[in-house]
Structure 1
Amino acid sequence: MEDSADDDTPMLGMDLPETPAPAASSGPYRVLARKYRPQTFAELIGQDAMVKTLGNAIARDRLAHAFLMTGVRGVGKTSTARLIAKALNCIGPDGLGGPTIDPCGVCEPCRAITEGRHIDVIEMDAASNTGVDDVREIIEAVRYAAVSARYKIYIIDEVHMLSRNAFNALLKTLEEPPPHVKFLFATTEVNKVPVTVLSRCQRFDLRRITPDMLFAHFSAILQKEGVEAEAPAIWLIASAAEGSVRDGLSILDQAIAHADLEGGGTITADQVRVMLGLSDRSSIAQLMAAILEGEAGGAIDLARAQYALGIEPVAMVRGLMDLVHAITLAKVSRHDDPALAAADRERIGDWAGKLGFAPLSRLWQLLLKGHEEVLRGNNPLEHLEMLLLRVIYSASMPDPGELAKLLESGGLAALAQVAPAPRAGQERAESPAAAETAHADAAPSALTIAQIHRLLESQGNHRLAGLVYDHLKVIELEPGRLMFAPAPALGEAFAREFGDALFQATGTRWQVGPGEGVARPSLGDVEQAKIADNEARIRELPVVKAALAAFPDARLELPEDNRHRSSP
């Protein structure tokens, strides 16, 4: 009998908890994002301000009737809504507990909510239930008390997807719901939620999770999963997550599978870069060095080599942008990337010491514009090569501020030193200062037209000085005598007014009037000729030629002529 008793099935069933059946270990795999979904507020990372506010509200029994959680994907909006549902309906292990910020997780309401089967906690996806009829069902149901829970809770995910009529139908119920009903909304696009709804909710903006928090969180999960990983690899995953826990866990899941397939079982930084399509840092550094040194051929060869290895052109552009960003932050001592090796840190620090903010900003803008071109181009590699050439040949071009300074006093001469010499037979326009010197040499005791212009300016006669500067073309100028070419812009009374002004300025009567003969250009004409000559010489500069070739729609902007000045 004892033997038969030992063979009874019930007796064998008592041994099952000690020796699980093989089917238990071969159940469907749960992805990390679901397996490690936070079950308590203590497990919810990065949202301390919200947890504190909710804890105080529960402790003081000042619970709002509607909550709105907003934030980017994967920061815990839906998880927070479920945690609030558990916190409000938890009855404790002994069944006598009340609302608490620390739900027990073992009572029937907590377990039912965790498993998604609680009859009084209704979850609705607004993306697939957008109409007013769906909201009307909620309005009809809120009149009835909860079946077994303390509160009847409606969790509406992606609430911004509700139609306008659905929102309007919900307003009255949302403003004055029965005391046993709570609304929990979650959305990634809060700007699409009507303000009439926002004003009826207590809003919580869930923050992006920092890379430091993600690194610690992923490290703990890897330890629980029994998977080895290099610290730089975890940092790469934390950075690629862009503040989203769910995105990071999905990448981590993929990295674990990738490492297993490689056979080593350890997640390495190189494997993560390959998996994410990230370019190698050393290759990007070599490409940046070629750009800064102006080696166009070398930069194109490096880009083609990376492309042959399977690196997408847009990933190379992003790598260059990341490097420029790192160099710029290093200049203000704000760059801290734990995934960087010591050699990379040294290289970035060296570039930060040599490059100024202006070229770095210009480089960033060129790469930013080129990123869109490479991303949308039908042949990304060709777009990348053209972008590299554009960046290289624009790197040495002075920025607009520097160019404006060069074009001011003394700057044009500096540019002219490196500008090509005028072609044979091409005469340079005589500047007013040069004309003044020439006339002074011819007649030292006589006033030049430039000196007369300054006298008029000093007397405050700016209108007459302007006419002299723009339109007065001198035929004959001697002490006490000035003949000029007639011009409609001068007017009939110009000769009399000009003679009176000269008398007031010199104390001597002047003979002023129109004459015949060859007239010299006006001061304004001389200045415009000078500017045109300088512009032609500037356009001959190699760096300007390259810039205009790279940017066909660009224009060379020179400072406008400072007309009617006293020192032309």
Structure 2
Amino acid sequence: MTDSLDLGEPPQPAMAQPYRVLARKYRPQTFAELIGQDAMVTTLANAIRRGRLAHAFLLTGVRGVGKTSTARLIAKALNCIGPDGEGGPTIDPCGVCEPCRAIAEGRHIDVIEMDAASHTGVDDVREIIDASRYSAVSARYKIYIVDEVHMLSKNAFNALLKTLEEPPEHVKFLFATTEVNKVPVTVLSRCQRFDLRRIPTDKLGAHFAWVAEQEGIEAEPEALALIARAAEGSARDGLSILDQAIAHAGMEGGGVSAEAVRQMLGLSDRGAMRELMGLVLAADAPGALAALRRQYDYGVDPQSVLRALLETVHGVTLVKLGTPPDPAQPAEERSGYEEWASKLSFPALHRLWQLLLKGHDEVARASLPIEAAEMALLRVIHASSLPDPGELARRVTSGEGPSSTAPAPGPSSMSTSTSAPAVAPLPEAPAGPPTDFAGVIALLDGDGQIALAEKLKISARLIRYDPPDIVLSAAKPLPADLVADLAAGLQRATGQRWKVTTDDAAGAPSVREAEAKEKADTLDWVKSTTVVKAALDAFPDAEVTAWETNRRS
């Protein structure tokens, strides 16, 4: 009888590894991989090198900038023992020793992570306090990482205060939060605070390009720029969008294209937005409405169109101020902004911003968004053909009639290419200072400084107006900083320095006081007329609340 052969266990099929999303797969494992937070890394490196480690750290910032990742990196940096087991705290943890690997895998017994959103009560904090009295089991420090710490209750914060102020030598607290304003001041004062900044768009784009290369995915630079811009400074948000774009590219076949990202996110074509802005500035109402409808038919939300126009006005204003160019901005877009900046005045840009912002808010609340967007564009186009209020005030005070106002321009024959189109410039600010104080108020109102103009109407009692000198009455209290705000506002609107002072003299009535006195005088006159006087005598309880009169002063 032959011996049976033991062939062992039959071969088992390899277990498929579950897919890890890019945001988890490319979580920073060293401080060198943490992008956009150089100042914080430098501070931590110096503290570790000099042995000046705080007992509690508070990491704050918007979502996806690396708060939890940084907390884990700090835990690794403090507990790393090096490949030979003899190392100390370092800003460059080795990643191969047992503490580094255990912390990275989330299984280290002395590094305790707690989600404050689901452990909000005082009992949860009491467990931390009781456990903190005992030394670390195998690590150099026992570290508590509390995510979304602002979610703790008031009693939980109070229970933590004493331990947080004087913890045992072997304990470190690492707090992370997106809403630092909700953390009590008593807790903030006991922590070393690090504000993690939004990651710049160009660094996000470079990071996404590296990730795409690691994944073996071809991606257009413009597509990565769109994703970086949509991420709004958050690496996690951007990687999630990139993950979605790669999946979309897999369905369509090929790499990640800008057009696919634009359709996926419902973004407007920036070239189309420059074309639309040119049509608006050229007062081409039919062309502007047709361009808006084209974007709407492509699936772009009307509110997104208004937002893109607001971004365009903001970009032109920054160019006019001479700010350094954005590295992520296409050269064609920069060229278009420079052309518009050379033709539009600051008052015109401020007015465009206010009109578009009002339209954006209206579209957000409207039951008919596309119709509301069309009406908002028509209002901007109509306003672009009107003279500046300061110019109107100058004409009125100089005796010019309304007939001198230039008629509204008709539709232009502007090219529909995506390059910066020719612009019909909005009226410039008046060349000289206003001839009277009423013109000053009108100038500020037209420059977008509506709040300041309203304060002047209510409180300013003029003693002397001799441009560029203005003397206001201080006989009655003036709003705080009104004098300084008026000088700064006039300098911005006219481009020259103004001297605004006060005096104890009474001064002329304010605009509101003059209007109230005129209204009271008119009411007295109305009551004194024969018909009204007879009616009031017949009905003693009657009041005159409104009237129409052709009375001439």
Q: TM-score, normalised by structure 2?
A: 0.69
Mapped partners of 1:338, 1:50: distance in 2: 23
* Residue of structure 1 in register with 2:339 after alignment: 350
Cα deviation digits, residues 405-434 of structure 1 (max 9, x gap): 3332x1x415353599xxxxxxxxxxxxxx
Map 1:139-150; keep pairs closer than 5 Å.
139-150=129-140
Mapped partners of 2:303, 2:67: distance in 1: 32
CA positional deviation for 1:9: 5.0
Say if 2:64 is the partner of 1:74: yes
* Residue of structure 2 in register with 1:23 after alignment: 14
Which residue of 362, 365, 370 corresponds with 1:376?
365
Say if 2:109 is the partner of 1:119: yes
Aligned residue for 2:14, secondary structure, equals: helix
Question: Where do 5+ consecutive residues of structure 2 fail to align?
Answer: 408-513, 519-553
Map 1:135-214; keep pairs closer than 5 Å.
135-214=125-204
Q: Which moved more, 1:166-175 or 1:92-101?
A: 92-101
Q: Does structure 1 retain, via aligned residues, the 8 Å contact 2:120–2:152?
A: yes
Which residue of 245, 266, 269 corresponds with 1:277?
266
* Residue of structure 1 in register with 2:97 after alignment: 107
Distance 1:23 1:375, change over 3 A: farther
Q: In structure 1, give the amino acid aligned to 2:400.
A: A
Mapped partners of 1:32, 1:355: distance in 2: 44
Q: Which moved more, 1:117-126 or 1:350-359?
A: 350-359
Q: In structure 2, give the amino acid aligned to 1:278.
A: L
Q: In structure 1, give the amino acid aligned to 2:346.
A: F
CA positional deviation for 1:399: 3.1
CA positional deviation for 1:346: 3.7
* Residue of structure 2 in register with 1:332 after alignment: 321
Q: Does structure 1 retain, via aligned residues, the 8 Å contact 2:201–2:328?
A: no
Aligned residue for 2:108, secondary structure, equals: coil
Q: In structure 2, give the amino acid aligned to 1:170.
A: L
CA positional deviation for 1:368: 1.2
CA positional deviation for 1:112: 0.9
Q: Which moved more, 1:138-147 or 1:350-359?
A: 350-359
Mapped partners of 1:23, 1:336: distance in 2: 53
Percent identity for Structure 1 against Structure 2: 69
Q: In structure 2, give the amino acid aligned to 1:403.
A: L
Q: In structure 2, give the amino acid aligned to 1:127.
A: A
Aligned residue for 2:400, secondary structure, equals: helix
Q: Does structure 2 retain, via aligned residues, the 8 Å contact 1:229–1:268?
A: yes
Mapped partners of 2:172, 2:405: distance in 1: 76
CA positional deviation for 1:118: 0.9
Map 1:188-337; keep pairs closer than 5 Å.
188-264=178-254, 266-334=255-323, 336-337=325-326
Aligned residue for 1:149, secondary structure, equals: coil
Q: TM-score, normalised by structure 1?
A: 0.68
CA positional deviation for 1:237: 1.3
Q: Does structure 1 retain, via aligned residues, the 8 Å contact 2:103–2:111?
A: yes
Cα deviation digits, residues 197-254 of structure 1 (max 9, x gap): 0110111111111112112211111111111111111111111111111111111111
Q: In structure 2, give the amino acid aligned to 1:354.
A: K
Q: Does structure 2 retain, via aligned residues, the 8 Å contact 1:232–1:339?
A: no
Aligned residue for 1:69, secondary structure, equals: strand
Which residue of 378, 400, 411 corresponds with 2:389?
400
Distance 1:418 1:32, change over 3 A: closer
Cα deviation digits, residues 66-123 of structure 1 (max 9, x gap): 0111111111111111011111111111222221111111111111111111111110
Mapped partners of 1:417, 1:309: distance in 2: 43
Aligned residue for 2:176, secondary structure, equals: strand
Mapped partners of 2:94, 2:307: distance in 1: 46
Aligned residue for 1:413, secondary structure, equals: coil
Cα deviation digits, residues 41-86 of structure 1 (max 9, x gap): 1111121221122122212222111011111111111111101111
Aligned residue for 1:267, secondary structure, equals: coil
Q: In structure 2, give the amino acid aligned to 1:88.
A: L
Aligned residue for 1:229, secondary structure, equals: coil
Which residue of 341, 364, 376 corresponds with 1:387?
376
Q: In structure 2, give the amino acid aligned to 1:348.
A: Y
Mapped partners of 1:343, 1:50: distance in 2: 36
Q: Does structure 2 retain, via aligned residues, the 8 Å contact 1:232–1:340?
A: no
Which residue of 404, 407, 424 corresponds with 1:417?
404
Mapped partners of 1:202, 1:405: distance in 2: 57
Aligned residue for 1:185, secondary structure, equals: strand
Tell me how large the CA RMSD over aligned residues is.
Answer: 2.4
Question: Where do 5+ consecutive residues of structure 1 fail to align?
Answer: 14-20, 421-523, 529-568
Mapped partners of 1:127, 1:358: distance in 2: 48
Paired residues in the alignment total 406
Map 1:409-448; keep pairs closer than 5 Å.
410=398, 412-418=399-405
Distance 1:70 1:344, change over 3 A: closer
Q: Which moved more, 1:80-89 or 1:206-215?
A: 206-215
Larger radius of gyration: 1
Aligned residue for 2:175, secondary structure, equals: strand
Q: Does structure 2 retain, via aligned residues, the 8 Å contact 1:135–1:170?
A: yes
